Structure 1
């Protein structure tokens, strides 16, 4: 009990809480705020219809939602999952209506040009760029969208370690999503550009 009280006074999330919680790197105050937002999101879903937009970081296992949309598309067109890729769409794309609308992501190592719907140079002093609402849709590999696309990895947390917790066997890496780029994909690989669901704050 003394150790628990000391941890709380330091503004940290107690290990006892994290042992039965979703993985988080946040401080105590940010963790409580995040927990309340998660409860509110799912209570709203429970009381009403399926939301038109999904708060991806609010899911314990975001991979299930994203990969599920890939699987639905692969079954629809009759190709294996390995033949499907995820792409961030623009409002001009005819595919967007069948996509997965998400919000709450951050972009590390880069920023976002909303007018061009493409990755851009990082803003000075902004380690995690808050992304606007995105529509992610699946396409068959070898179809449209071939060149000038960066396969941007999506992680649960920015530390990018392989596993988030040993008890739940939850992988930190979720999936890669193709986004438009004006430089070569190698340019963004060297900068370590990636989507993250959670930040430290």
Structure 2
């Protein structure tokens, strides 16, 4: 696959972390069965795992090495989906679409993509290459081929506003609708150090609904007929996960 390609280096780092999570889950559940049978002593970690699993919560040790989730059901579903994405990438080939929510380090993914685009253009320097994006009119089922440059990203939710799919721009949110699934985003890089277009809304992207600097990933540019300040006051953001 080319082990020195930026995205393949990123993939190896992600798989190493994923293997660690799978190992901890396997060892914990195996030891828990032995502890319940009385074969080994019930340690503090095993007791915590037993109590949390009984309450449908994620054991603290698992969260320490993985990701936050409200219930063990959501957590385990995400574990399977993340594992599926990595397995497909390794054994089938580079994906046409990337589920950014399924990465431990989404910022590293975008940086690796920038490096890949920079290397493809002679004379470009990574310091002067900036992330850029376009919102398509397509969803996951409509895409069959990868873009000529950059990556297609799916799985983002819009919080605080709605999306005009025909015009590919922000619009007022509908009553009683909290989150909207955004279409596929084409993320790529351009050689530019100039400021962003002031007519576009720079929408922050967060990993989780709790918006902190620890869950912040990047910003994506969105078209809007209103002044971008209108959406800033509404607190409009894109979320990778709404659970």
TM-score under structure 2 length normalisation: 0.68
Match of 1:109 among 160, 165, 172: 160
**Equivalences for 1:113-124 in 2 at 5 Å?**
113-124=164-175
For residues 122-143 of structure 1, give each alpha carbon's deviation from its aligned partner in whole angstroms, at most 9, with x where no partner exists. 2333322222222122334478
Corresponding residue number in structure 2 for 1:41: 85
Bigger radius of gyration? 2
Report the RMSD for the aligned CA atoms in angstroms.
2.5
The reply to whether residue 161 of structure 1 matches residue 204 of structure 2 is: no
Which structure is higher in strand share? 1
For residues 80-119 of structure 1, give each alpha carbon's deviation from its aligned partner in whole angstroms, at most 9, with x where no partner exists. 545524222447xxxx642310111111112222211112
Aligned mates of 2:226, 2:235 — CA distance in 1: 14
Aligned mates of 1:42, 1:32 — CA distance in 2: 16
Contact 1:111–1:123 (Cα < 8 Å) also in 2 = yes
The structure whose RCO (Cα within 8 Å, separation 6+) is larger is 1
Aligned mates of 2:224, 2:115 — CA distance in 1: 26
Aligned mates of 1:159, 1:3 — CA distance in 2: 25
The gaps in structure 2 that reach 5 residues or longer are: 1-45, 138-146
Aligned mates of 1:39, 1:141 — CA distance in 2: 36
**Equivalences for 1:71-110 in 2 at 5 Å?**
71-74=115-118, 76=121, 78-79=124-125, 81=127, 84-90=130-136, 97-110=148-161
**Equivalences for 1:122-161 in 2 at 5 Å?**
122-141=173-192, 146-161=197-212
Contact 2:130–2:193 (Cα < 8 Å) also in 1 = no
| Shift in Å, 1:158 | 1.6
TM-score under structure 1 length normalisation: 0.81
SS at match of 2:166: coil
| Shift in Å, 1:28 | 1.2
Aligned mates of 1:113, 1:36 — CA distance in 2: 32
Contact 1:108–1:195 (Cα < 8 Å) also in 2 = yes
Match of 1:7 among 34, 37, 52: 52
The gaps in structure 1 that reach 5 residues or longer are: 164-171
Contact 2:201–2:231 (Cα < 8 Å) also in 1 = yes
